C-alpha cells in the first residue's frame, strides 16, 4: 500500500524544487530585461491555465502515474504508454546536461585543470547517486526536494539583492533602458524557448498525488503558491544578475559563478560567499534532478505495471518506490554521456545540444495532457471534481489551447534560431533525434503490448465504446 507521507508544505516545496531552475538562470538572463515582462505575461496566459488544468486533473484522478493515468483515461493505454515514455526518457536524456553544469561549477570552484573527460566522469557519478536516491522510501526521499526548494529560494534572493546592490554602486553592467524591456526578433529571442521551458512541468506535482495526505487540498494550493514564488524568484534574480554583469558576458555554464564573483567583488568574504553559493547551486542541481526523476519514474512504473512498457519498468522496491525505471534511466544517461565523451566537444556546446533536444521531448507529454483534459471534461460528467475550473466546456477549450500554442512556439524556437542562418546539421540532428526516440518508443510499446495481449484488448474496448455510442444514439 502506498504510504501517504506528503503534506501541503511538502507539495509546495516539491513544486518549487521542480520548477525553479537555478541552472537555467543564465539562459533566462540571456534574454535580458525583456525576461521580466515575458515571465509576467507567461504567468498570466500560460502558467495559470496550466496550473488550473493540473489541479483539476490531479484532484479528480489522483491515480498512480499522474499524467500517464490521465491520458490513459482519455485516449487509451497505447497513447498513455507513449506519453509515459516521452515523460521518462526526456528526463534521462536531460540528466547529462544538468550534471555537466554541476561539473562545470565544480571545476570553476575547485579544479580548473579538469577537462571535458573529467567533467563527464563527475556527471556519471552523480547519475548513479540520483538513481539510488529515486529508489528510496518517499518519507525519506521527499527531503531532497524539500531542502533543495528552500536552498534555491535562498540562493536566488542572495543573487537578486546582492546583484542589485552591486549594480547600484555604479552604473548597471547591463544598461536599464526602456527598449531593454521589449523583446527583439533576433538570435537572443531563441532564449524565449527557455523561459517557456522554465514555466513548464506543473504536472510533476500531480504524479505525487498517491503519496499526498490530502491531494484535493494540497495540489491547488501548491500550484498557486509555488508558481507565484517561482516567477518572483526568476524576475528578482535576473535583475540582480543583469545589473552586476553585462549580458554579453553571460556564459551558459560559467555565467553563474562569474556573476557571483562580480556581485561580491571587494567583499572580504568574497571567496567564502562564492564558494558557499556555488556549493548550494551544485546541491540544488542534484536535488532538482531527483525531483524530476521521481516524477518521471512514477509515470514509467505505472505503464510498466500495466504491461504497456516492458515489465522491467514496473519493478518496485518493498516500500513501493520505482526500482526498474531508475536503473534503466541510469543506463541510458550513462550511455549518452559515454557517446559525448568520444565526441569530445566543448562542454558548453554539449550542454546546449542536450538541453535543446531533451526540452523538445519534454513538451510532448504536456501537449497531450491538455487534449486529454478537454476530452475528459467532455466524456466524464459523473466523476466528482474536488477542484473544478469554473468555466464551461468551450471556455475550458480556449483555456487549454493557449498553453498548447505557447509550447509549439517554444519547439519552433529551439529548432530554428530566429535572426540566424539555418544550421542544417543542427536542425537535422534535432529532427532525427526526436524521430528516433519517438519512433523507437512506439515500436517498443507496440511489441510489448502485443506480447501481453493488450493490442487486441484495446481494440475490443474501442469497439465496445463505439457500439455503446451508436446504440445510445
Measuring CA to CA, which residue among 234, 145, 241, 157 is closest to residue 196?
234
Measuring CA to CA, which residue among 139, 144, 114 is closest to residue 129?
144
Measuring CA to CA, which residue among 155, 151, 131 is closest to residue 141?
131
Per-residue pLDDT of the chain (473 residues; tens, 9 = 90+): 456 777 888 888 888 877 887 767 777 777 788 888 888 888 899 999 999 999 999 889 887 778 888 999 999 988 988 988 998 888 887 787 778 778 888 888 887 777 777 888 888 999 999 899 888 776 666 677 778 788 888 888 988 888 888 888 778 888 888 888 887 656 556 667 777 887 887 887 877 777 788 888 888 888 889 889 989 998 998 898 888 877 766 655 556 677 777 777 777 777 888 888 888 888 888 877 887 788 788 888 988 888 888 999 999 888 788 899 999 989 988 887 777 666 655 555 666 666 777 788 889 999 999 999 999 998 998 898 988 998 888 898 999 999 999 999 888 888 886 666 777 877 887 888 888 889 999 999 999 988 877 654 554 444 444 344 334 43
Segment 1-39, tens digit of pLDDT? 456 777 888 888 888 877 887 767 777 777 788 888 888
In a domain, 407, yes or no: yes
Q: What is the CATH number of the domain that holds 202?
A: 1.20.1740.10
In a domain, 2, yes or no: no
Segment 62-103, tens digit of pLDDT? 877 788 889 999 999 889 889 889 988 888 877 877 787 788
Angstrom distances, CA of residue 224 to CA of 100, 323, 456: 32, 31, 42
CA distance 317 to 322: 6
What is the number of domains present in the chain? Answer: 1
In a domain, 357, yes or no: yes
Q: Report whether 48 contacts 286 (CB < 8 A).
A: no
CA distance 439 to 86: 11
In a domain, 182, yes or no: yes
Q: Report whether 188 contacts 56 (CB < 8 A).
A: no
Sign of the alpha-carbon torsion through 188, 193, 196, 198: negative
Phi, psi for 322 (deg, rounded to 5): -60, 145
In a domain, 64, yes or no: yes
What is the domain range of residue 347?
8-465
In a domain, 405, yes or no: yes
Distance of CA 156 to the CA centre of its chain: 18
In a domain, 3, yes or no: no
| This prediction's pTM | 0.77
In a domain, 471, yes or no: no
Amino acid at each position: 500500500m502506498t504510504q501517504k507521507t506528503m503534506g501541503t508544505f511538502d507539495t509546495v516545496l516539491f513544486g518549487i524544487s521542480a520548477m525553479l531552475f537555478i541552472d537555467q538562470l543564465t539562459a533566462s538572463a540571456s534574454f535580458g530585461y525583456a525576461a521580466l515582462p515575458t515571465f509576467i505575461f507567461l504567468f498570466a496566459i500560460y502558467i495559470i491555465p496550466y496550473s488550473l488544468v493540473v489541479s483539476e486533473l490531479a484532484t479528480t484522478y489522483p491515480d498512480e502515474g499522474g499524467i500517464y493515468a490521465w491520458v490513459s483515461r482519455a485516449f487509451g493505454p497505447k497513447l498513455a504508454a507513449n506519453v509515459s515514455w516521452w515523460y521518462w526518457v526526456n528526463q534521462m536524456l536531460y540528466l547529462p546536461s544538468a550534471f555537466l553544469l554541476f561539473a562545470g561549477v565544480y571545476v570553476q570552484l575547485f579544479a580548473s585543470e579538469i577537462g571535458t573527460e573529467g567533467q563527464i566522469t563527475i556527471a556519471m557519478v552523480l547519475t548513479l547517486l540520483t538513481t539510488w536516491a529515486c529508489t528510496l522510501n518517499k518519507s525519506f526521499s521527499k527531503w531532497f526536494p524539500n531542502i533543495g526548494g528552500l536552498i534555491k529560494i535562498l540562493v536566488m534572493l542572495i543573487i537578486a539583492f546582492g546583484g542589485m546592490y552591486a549594480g547600484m554602486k555604479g552604473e548597471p553592467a547591463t544598461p536599464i533602458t526602456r527598449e531593454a524591456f521589449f523583446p527583439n526578433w533576433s538570435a537572443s529571442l531563441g532564449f524565449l524557448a527557455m523561459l517557456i521551458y522554465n514555466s513548464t512541468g506543473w504536472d510533476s506535482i500531480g504524479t505525487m498525488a498517491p503519496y499526498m495526505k490530502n491531494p484535493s487540498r494540497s495540489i491547488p494550493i501548491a500550484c498557486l503558491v509555488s508558481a507565484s514564488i517561482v516567477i518572483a524568484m526568476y524576475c528578482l534574480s535576473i535583475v540582480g544578475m543583469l545589473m552586476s554583469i553585462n549580458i554579453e558576458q553571460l556564459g551558459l555554464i560559467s555565467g553563474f559563478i562569474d556573476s557571483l564573483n562580480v556581485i561580491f567583488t571587494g567583499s572580504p568574504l568574497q571567496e567564502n560567499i562564492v564558494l558557499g553559493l556555488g556549493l548550494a547551486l551544485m546541491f540544488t542541481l542534484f536535488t532538482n534532478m531527483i525531483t524530476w526523476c521521481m516524477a518521471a519514474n512514477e509515470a514509467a512504473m505505472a505503464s510498466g505495471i500495466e504491461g504497456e512498457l516492458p515489465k522491467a519498468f514496473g519493478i518496485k522496491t518493498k516500500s513501493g518506490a520505482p526500482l526498474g525505471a531508475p536503473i534503466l534511466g541510469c543506463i541510458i544517461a550513462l550511455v549518452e554521456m559515454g557517446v559525448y565523451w568520444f565526441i569530445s566537444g566543448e562542454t558548453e556546446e554539449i550542454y546546449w545540444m542536450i538541453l535543446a533536444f531533451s526540452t523538445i521531448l519534454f513538451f510532448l507529454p504536456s501537449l497531450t495532457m491538455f487534449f486529454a483534459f478537454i476530452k475528459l471534461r467532455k466524456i466524464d460528467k459523473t466523476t466528482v471534481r474536488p477542484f473544478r475550473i469554473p468555466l464551461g466546456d468551450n471556455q475550458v477549450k480556449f483555456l487549454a489551447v493557449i498553453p498548447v500554442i505557447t509550447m509549439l512556439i517554444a519547439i519552433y524556437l529551439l529548432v530554428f534560431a530566429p535572426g540566424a542562418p539555418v544550421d542544417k546539421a543542427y536542425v537535422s540532428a534535432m529532427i532525427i533525434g526526436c524521430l528516433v526516440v519517438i519512433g523507437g518508443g512506439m515500436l517498443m510499446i507496440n511489441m510489448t503490448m502485443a506480447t501481453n495481449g493488450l493490442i487486441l484488448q484495446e481494440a475490443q474496448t474501442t469497439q465496445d465504446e463505439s457500439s455503446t455510442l451508436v446504440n445510445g444514439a
